[in-house]
Amino acid sequence: MSPEILTILMFLSLMVSITLGHPLAVTLAGVATLFGLIDNGFNFPALIDLFVNNSWGIFQSYILVAIPLFIFMAQILDRSKVSEGLFDALYIVLGGLKGGLGMAVIVVSTVFAATTGIVGASVVAMGLMAGPALLRRGYDKGLAAGIICSSGTLGILIPPSIMLVVYGGLTGMKETSVGNLFAAAIVPGLMLSIFYLGYVAIRCTLKPGDGPPIPASDRTATTAQKISMTMKSFVPPFALILTVMGTILAGVATPTEAAALGCIGAMILAMFNKKFNREVMAQACDSTIRTTSMIMLLFVGGKLFSVVFLSMGGGDVVADLLLGMDVHEYVVLGIMMAVVFLMGMFIDWAAILLVVVPIFTPIAMDLGFDPLWFAMLICVNLQTSFLTPPFGYSLFYFKGVAPPEFTMGDIYKGILPFVLIQVIGLGLLITFPAIITWLPGVFFGN
């Protein structure tokens, strides 16, 4: 059977299996096994050797040790209620502005993203805290849902992000090391956060009924009290951010070592908030083991899929198709970005990375694109996967904890402007590569 036909059938089999609801890790490994046997003439021992040799490399990767450490840090912070204190302070400080409460949610989510790196934790926490508050203050339900869901997705982009650690572990390239990816993601992540703030401010200024200010009677604190509240709730998480990111960017610690420091810092914050006990530790460890196991199984399944796909010539088929097109290289880039965007509507971000990175990265390098710039375009693009129907995870995270007044229709309507903002942000990153490459150049001389 020709590589072209095998490539088409392999992708169709993957999409059908995912649509039927089978677990992603099992689906990736199962499709890889089936087509690996077809390609090598059903030589099962040879296929097992191929799988074992490639899977063993995953478990020898030192950088992947950072994954359970960052997850544990996020779990401890989630249970230490760090975000609640900051939200309460900003509720008073920004609540008097039109759209101020919505902007407070975005600021808190941005800080929470920089300390946890896990979308589910951010969306659920803000959904529980801010959802009822926004509804009670008369916010448009679509806008409220859009604010919480979109700002929560910043956790997958702003370092320390699990997605960036996975990407760095996948490529194994110096240009896309975890340190470089962390540095490259800071400005795009903050840029999107600022865009969200700008959108909320403009919309609520033009339509005050969508985001009214809270009554003066609810914000009687003096200026000194507001400053004290904000500093008390902001300084501890900011110190943790500096501990983790500062040591990486300064070259003092590797991402794995910095993640370990972050775990210690998270436990200290939990003690400071009197939330650190045996039950919290047990819950955090249990969640860490479960999440890490899921990610590593996905890693193995994705690795098996990609190695079979490449060994049977699938990568060459895709490369020949894209590179053989008589079009500008940015048209090819647009096609790759469109593929990632569409896959994000149906497939988990981890599976997308495991499938497309081994295929698209060599094509991007053949086209002369900076691998770090291209990596960040994929990561920013994948942020939309949490918001785009029908399988946007943030939408279901929020619906699971939101007051019953929020319907799926409200949520779908509310996220559309924010998806558009993300697409605009992606366009700016394509047009102005320095937004991505400037900070890594400052810290690492790239």
| pLDDT at residue 77 is higher than 80 | no
Residues with Cβ within 8 Å of 221's Cβ and at least 6 positions away in sequence, in order, are 92, 229
pLDDT at 218: 61
Residues with Cβ within 8 Å of 41's Cβ and at least 6 positions away in sequence, in order, are none
pLDDT at 143: 92
pLDDT at 407: 85
Q: Per the structure block, which two tokens stand in for 244?
A: 């983790």
| pLDDT at residue 392 is higher than 80 | no
Give the whole-angstrom CA distance, residue 42 versus residue 34: 9
Most confident of 29-38, 77-86, 292-301: 29-38
Q: Per the structure block, which two tokens stand in for 300?
A: 């193995």
**For residues 208-231, average pLDDT:** 73
For residue 385, the 8-state DSSP code is G
**For residues 426-442, average pLDDT:** 93
pLDDT at 343: 82
* Pairwise pLDDT comparison (211 vs 318), residue with the higher score: 211
pLDDT digits (tens, 9 = 90+) for 143-164: 999 999 998 888 888 888 888 8
pTM of this structure: 0.83
- pLDDT band of 185, cuts 50, 70, 90: very high
* Pairwise pLDDT comparison (268 vs 298), residue with the higher score: 268
Phi, psi dihedrals of residue 27, rounded to the nearest 5° = -60, -50
Give which of 218, 151, 232, 221 is closest to 190, Cα–Cα: 151
| pLDDT at residue 217 is higher than 70 | no
**For residues 211-225, average pLDDT:** 71
**For residues 388-401, average pLDDT:** 79
**For residues 384-404, average pLDDT:** 81
pLDDT at 221: 62
Amino acid identity, position 164: L
Contact 127, 148 (CB under 8 A): yes
| pLDDT at residue 377 is higher than 90 | yes
pLDDT at 374: 95
For residue 158, the 8-state DSSP code is S
- pLDDT band of 206, cuts 50, 70, 90: very high
pLDDT digits (tens, 9 = 90+) for 229-250: 777 777 787 788 888 888 888 7
- Computed over every residue of the chain, the mean pLDDT equals 83
Alpha helices (H) along 345-391: 349-366, 371-383
- pLDDT band of 204, cuts 50, 70, 90: very high
* Pairwise pLDDT comparison (88 vs 33), residue with the higher score: 33
Domain parsing of the chain, residue ranges? 3-444
Give which of 47, 4, 32, 74 is closest to 304, Cα–Cα: 32
Contact 149, 232 (CB under 8 A): no
Least confident of 110-119, 135-144, 296-305, 361-370: 110-119
pLDDT digits (tens, 9 = 90+) for 250-264: 778 888 888 888 889
| pLDDT at residue 85 is higher than 80 | no
Contact 129, 402 (CB under 8 A): no
Most confident of 47-61, 361-375, 382-396: 361-375
Residues with Cβ within 8 Å of 408's Cβ and at least 6 positions away in sequence, in order, are 395, 399
What are the Cα distances from residue 140, in Å, to 102, 148, 155, 406? 11, 13, 24, 10
| pLDDT at residue 62 is higher than 80 | no
Q: Cis bond leading into 160, ω under 30°? A: yes
pLDDT at 418: 94
pLDDT at 295: 77
| pLDDT at residue 86 is higher than 80 | no
* Pairwise pLDDT comparison (34 vs 2), residue with the higher score: 34
Residues with Cβ within 8 Å of 347's Cβ and at least 6 positions away in sequence, in order, are 18, 24, 385, 391
- pLDDT band of 198, cuts 50, 70, 90: very high
Q: How many residues in the chain?
A: 446
Q: Is 22 helix (H, G, I), strand (E, B) or coil?
A: coil
For residue 413, the 8-state DSSP code is H
Give which of 393, 351, 344, 345 is closest to 31, Cα–Cα: 351
CA 43 to chain centre: 39
| pLDDT at residue 170 is higher than 90 | no
- pLDDT band of 266, cuts 50, 70, 90: confident
- Residue where the block lists tokens 């790239």: 446
| pLDDT at residue 326 is higher than 80 | no
For the chain, the C-alpha Rg in angstroms (whole number) is 22
| pLDDT at residue 10 is higher than 80 | yes
| pLDDT at residue 196 is higher than 90 | yes
Amino acid identity, position 103: M
